Structure formats: C-alpha cells, structure tokens
Amino acid sequence: MSRTNLPGRGSPVLDFFLLCFFGLLMLMGVRHPFVWVLTYLYVDIVAPQKIGWSLMAALPVSFVAFLAAFAGWVLVDRKEGGRFTFRQGLMVLLLVYCGVTTLTADFPVEAAEKWAWVWKALVFATFLPLTLTTRLRLEGAVLVMVLSVGAIIINGGLKTALAGGGYGTLTFMVRDDSGLYEDSIISCVAVAVIPLILWLAKHGTVFPPDWRVKLFAAALIFAAMLIPVGTEARTGLLCIGLLGVLMMRSVKNKFLYAALAGIGLLVAVPFLPKSFTERMSTIESHKSDQSASTRIAVWQWTLDYVKSHPMGGGFNAYLGDELTFETQTAKTIGSTTVVETQKMTDKGRAYHSSYFEMLGEQGWPGLAMWLLLQGLGIWQMELLRRRWSKREGPDHQWQAPLATALQQGQFVYLLGSFFVGIAFQPFVYMLIGLQCALWSYLHRLDAPDRAKRRGHPLPSRSPPCPDLLGRANADGH
C-alpha cells in the first residue's frame, strides 16, 4: 500500500496550531511585508495544508502566501538594491518555453496538472532575488529554508533512530510521497542543506553562533545523515559521498578530516540495518534490481523519443512509454549459484532522472536552458568564492563561505537529480534564487571598487536599503 492511501488524519490541536502560526505570520507581514516572502518559503517547503486535516486543508494557504509576497513587494516594500540578473531572465525564458510545450503536450490534462505548480516555482524563484537586497534578508531566507526542511528532517531522523526505516515505509509528517515527502527527494535535499546548516552555525547573525546553536546544527546534520538510512534511498548515499569529497576543499586540515570521515564510516557500518546494506549493494549492477533496470529502459526510450520529438512532448510525456527490459536474480542451489534472467514489460514509467525528464518533456532546447541555468550557478558561486575568500575584515568573512555552501548544495542536487526526476523541484529553484540574490548583492557592493579600478568616478551613495523587517540599515547593506 502506498503512503498516499494510508488511512488516518491529523490532530485537531495540530490543525489549530498550524492555522494560528500561519495567521501570525500573515499579521506580521502587514507591518513588515518581507515576512510574507518568508511565509511562502515555509508554506511551499513544509506544506502545512497537507499536515492539517480540517481548516488548513481547506484554505488555499499557498496561494494566499504567494499573492501576499508579491503584493507586499510591489505595493509597500522598498525596491533599492534589486537587480534583474541574466539567470533570472533565463528562468523566464524557460517558463515561457514550458508554457508552449504544455499547450502542445502529448497528454494535455496531465501536463496541465504539472504546469499548475511548475509555473509558480519558476515565477517565485525569479521574483525572490528582487526581495533579498541585504545580508540580513539573505540570511533570513536561508534560515527559514533550513528550518523548514529541518522540520521534515528531524521528524524522519527521530523515527529512523527510534524505530528504523525501510524503503517506501518511512513516513514523515504527512501520509504522502510527493514533493519533499518522497523518499529519494528528501534524501537528496537533506544532504544538500548540510552546507547551509554549517554556514548558519558559523556566520549567522539572527541566532548568533554559540554552543546552543552549534549543538542544534550538529544534531540537525546528524538527522539529515539519517534520512538516507531511514528511507534506504541509494541516491542519498551517493549524495553523502559527494558532499564528503566537496568539503575536502574547504576544511583546513584535510588529512585529519579524511581520517575522521573514514573512522566514522567504519564505526557506522556495523549499526546500519541489514536491509539498508542489502539495498545499497544493488548499486553495483542495475540488472540485479528491477527499479534500476526500469530506469535504464526509460532513459533508452527517451533518447529514441526525442529523435522524432526534438522539442519534447510536454510535461508527463513519459506516460506514452512502453518498456521491455531484463533483470537478473542470483539463486544458490546447494553449492552452485544460478543466475536467472527474466524479461519484464512495463508502461508509463517515470523518467527517474531530471536530465531525461527535461529531455523528454522539454526536448533539446529545454535541456540546454536547464543545463545553462545550473552551470552558470556553479560558475558564479566559484567566482564569488575566489573573489571574497582573500578579503580581510570582520564584514568580509561570510560571503565566500555562503557562495561555497550554495555551490556545494547545487553539486549535490545535480548528482541526486541524475537518479530522481526533480528538474522542477521548487526547493531547488529557491536555492537558485539565493544564488542570484547573492550574486547581485555582492556585485553591488563591489561596484565602487570596480569603478575605482577602471578610473571611473565613484557612484553616488544610494539610499539605505531595508533590513529583514523593512527598517533602513545605516550603511545601506
């Protein structure tokens, strides 16, 4: 039985608490409109309307927060410091292209269902950088995103630690397996946010780093590492391995880091459940696992499909696939091991890869735009890391680490997305929005230095920019 069909509903007390919390955030936004932007981040990640069962489930909280965020910025919020970047324009272009393919989709009804949330993710990601015009606002967005994902991670981590997990059996705060509540997706995202947790624990100002903050960060990272164990998602294991390699670049004592990581792995392996190690062993051969064999077959079908449909078939074009593939099972009879080969057939199987998802649905143009959007993020964060890592002074210590954290999170996503169809996952586009905002913000801070190097007169000082709650900062930053 899938989790979406499990019986049960939420508690009335929890429903009332969620409604009051949402109402409080909306009231705070009346005086400080930027809070509505943070509210939408929380709503889109946690999905409290799925957790509640009565009023929260009936109210269009996501749509209300979405409209409030835009209306607050347009009507009330100050616009100083906002800058429209090339990557934001690229997201607009991708949005338009997806709209066109939706109109000509192979399966119009199913395509329209996916378009209903994809356009919102792209629009909000394009809009988000225009609101993140100060360091405090940037940090506020990172904090809300981390804590929102953390709510899911803590829930799953506690259940894994206390009761174990299992592939397709670990439930989080909702009886649903879509969005961030799907096993492979949350396994990837949980690992991707670890660099942001570390950044907040070291450079945060909303909650100044002390022993309590660092203890909570360590516990949250531990819970995030437990998610791939509890879900038994192979994607999460690969993401942890990649992040471990990426962090070698940032740590000061690389040999000590490698030694501790190796010791930690050796200590952890004996405590892992047998079902987890058995499932991870199927990474070695895709033919020994039906799920992996299906993915290979879908990818082959997609490559054949775009030969006759180079512009893609619109959202959910995979519903037209027909697959034939082989699986192998090893059986031991006495002292002899026999490998049995079985031919399987299937229809309408999903892509299980963001790369093939983009190729099959949006064709070569859509895949090219998506890859360019991702590649520019890696490149821009690398430029920022190199540009700011050599600067001195107390106000120049957080920029390079944040760029590094966002870059590491994107690398983890790009690896995980090879095995999961999350090309349009809203949380990932929020990360892209953070990257655009950081790029624009630091570009503005660097403007006087660039003008001085080029021999141009210094620009006139702009009016102070608002901070997280809308108050003006004295230095405009």
Choosing from 27, 47, 77, the residue where a domain stops is 77
Considering the domain boundaries, does residue 415 fall inside one? no
Choosing from 347, 370, 389, the residue where a domain stops is 347
Considering the domain boundaries, does residue 13 fall inside one? yes
Task: Work out the pLDDT band at 165, boundaries 50, 70, 90.
Answer: low
Considering the domain boundaries, does residue 26 fall inside one? yes
Supply the mean pLDDT for the chain: 82
For residue 66, what are its two tokens? 């979405």
What integer pLDDT is reported at residue 451 of this predicted model? 63
| Bridge-based pairing state of the strands 336-347 and 322-333 | antiparallel
What integer pLDDT is reported at residue 151 of this predicted model? 93
Rounded to 10°, the helix 135-163/183-192 angle is: 130
Considering the domain boundaries, does residue 11 fall inside one? yes
Average pLDDT value for residue range 449-463 = 57
Considering the domain boundaries, does residue 33 fall inside one? yes
Rounded to 10°, the helix 34-46/135-163 angle is: 20
Choosing from 347, 366, 395, the residue where a domain stops is 347
Considering the domain boundaries, does residue 369 fall inside one? no
Q: What percent of the chain has pLDDT over 70?
A: 78
Domain count for the chain: 2
Residues sharing a CB contact under 8 Å with residue 135, sequence separation 6 or more, in sequence order: 205, 398, 441, 477
Owning domain of residue 18? 7-77
What integer pLDDT is reported at residue 472 of this predicted model? 45
> What is the distance between the alpha carbons of residues 239 and 188, in angstroms, rounded to a whole number?
6
Tell me the per-residue pLDDT of 192-211, one tens digit each, with 9 for 90 and over.
Answer: 999 999 999 999 999 999 99
What integer pLDDT is reported at residue 248 of this predicted model? 86
> What is the distance between the alpha carbons of residues 410 and 263, in angstroms, rounded to a whole number?
27
Stated pTM of the model: 0.85
Average pLDDT value for residue range 18-34 = 92
Tell me the per-residue pLDDT of 351-394, one tens digit each, with 9 for 90 and over.
Answer: 889 999 999 999 999 999 999 999 999 999 999 999 998 888 77
Highest mean pLDDT, choosing among 180-189, 231-240, 454-463: 180-189
Considering the domain boundaries, does residue 308 fall inside one? yes
